[in-house]
Structure 1
Amino acid sequence: MLPATARLTRSEDFRSVTRRGRRAGGSRIVVHALAEEVQTSASPRVGFVVSRAVGNSVVRHRVVRRLRHVVRDRLGTLPAGSSLIVRALPSAAEASSAELRQDFDAALRRLRLRANNDGGES
């Protein structure tokens, strides 16, 4: 579970990140990121989008749980004040946690969002 301060929940925030932020993605996920200079003391915030195209309710919730776990382990590597949206694509339904982790790390590298390079496992 992500701490409450690390969750992106308001629809206005989701809209702002997807419209004004940069994005990088692969075959299973797309990451939208917006770095706010104003909130440099705030912790990074993350939201998830998993549409019905990914699968039924059970599959969607499994994908969200896996993505949440991946993001939780990397929350400390994200810049303070940044906002991320992780959008699952239909192929995420068959992906393992390791594959989702690789896709998320690759997206972060493309976005150059790592605050430090101690990411550990890749």
Structure 2
Amino acid sequence: MVRRGRRAGRPRLVVHVLKPDVPTLDSSKVGFVVSKAVGNSVVRHRVYRRLRHVVRLVLAEMPPGTLVVVRALAPAAEASSSELAADFTSALRKVLR
């Protein structure tokens, strides 16, 4: 999925999106990649929870069958929820045009 779709990078994260020509799923699906480069377990889970909340607000507006992978980068550890939201919406807007 990551190799075939489109990608947009921001300072704190990278968003990969695959929009199939014929939707095989009724809803969109999202996956998260938060590696050890982001921080220890506590920091990684905090980033994951913030990203999950940000994506939940936008998920219903995505075209049906869209597959999304959000990969957090090391600077995401110090980012606030609003900074992560701004990066995500900006990257998603670029990929979906």
SS in 1 for 2:27: coil
5+ residue gaps, structure 2: none
Partners of 1:93 and 1:34 in 2: how far apart?
A: 26
Query: Quick one: which amino acid aligns to residue 101 of structure 1?
Result: A
What do you get for the CA RMSD once the two structures are aligned? Answer: 1.2
In the TM superposition, residue 98 of structure 1 has moved relative to its aligned partner by: 0.2
> Residue 7 of structure 1 aligns with which residue?
none
Given the alignment of the two structures, is residue 103 of structure 1 paired with residue 87 of structure 2, yes or no? yes
- Structure 2 length-normalised TM: 0.95
Q: Quick one: percent identity of the two aligned structures?
A: 62
Of residues 65, 68, 83, the one that matches 1:81 is 65
Counterpart in the other structure of 1:32 = 16
Aligned residues, how many? 97
Bigger relative contact order, structure 1 or 2 (CA pairs below 8 A, ≥6 apart): 2
Structure 1 unaligned spans of 5+? 1-16, 114-122
**Displaced runs of 4 or more, over 3 A:** none
TM-score by length of 1: 0.76
Separation in 2, partners of 1:99, 1:46: 19
1:67 aligns with 2:51: yes
The structure where helix makes up a greater share of residues is 1
CA shift at 1:41, angstroms? 5.3
